[in-house]
A and B are shown apart, each in its own frame.
Chain A
Amino acid sequence: MAVRSERLPVVDTAALLDLYERMVLVRLFETEAERQYKAARIGGYCHLCSGQEAATIGSVHALQDDDLLVTGYRCHGFALARGVPPAAVMSELFGRADGCAHGRGGSMHLLDVQRGFYGGWGIVAGQLPIATGLALALVRQERRQAVLCELGDGAVNMGAWHESLNLAALWSLPVVFMVVNNGYGMGTAVDRASAVPELHRRADAYGMPGERVDGDDLEAVIESTGRLLAAAREERRPAVLELLTYRYRGHSVADAGIAYRSKDEIAARMEHDPLVRTRERLREAGIEEATFDEIDARTEETLAAAVAAAQESPEPDVAELAAGMYAAGSGEQFARMLPGSPFGERDLVFAGGLGT
Chain B
Amino acid sequence: MSKDLDDDMFVCRCEEVTVREIRQAIAEGARDVVGIKRRTRAGMGLCQGRTCEKMVQQILSQELGISPEETGTSSARPPVKPVDFGTLAKGVQ
A, B assembled together = no
Give A contacts to B, CB under 8 Å. none
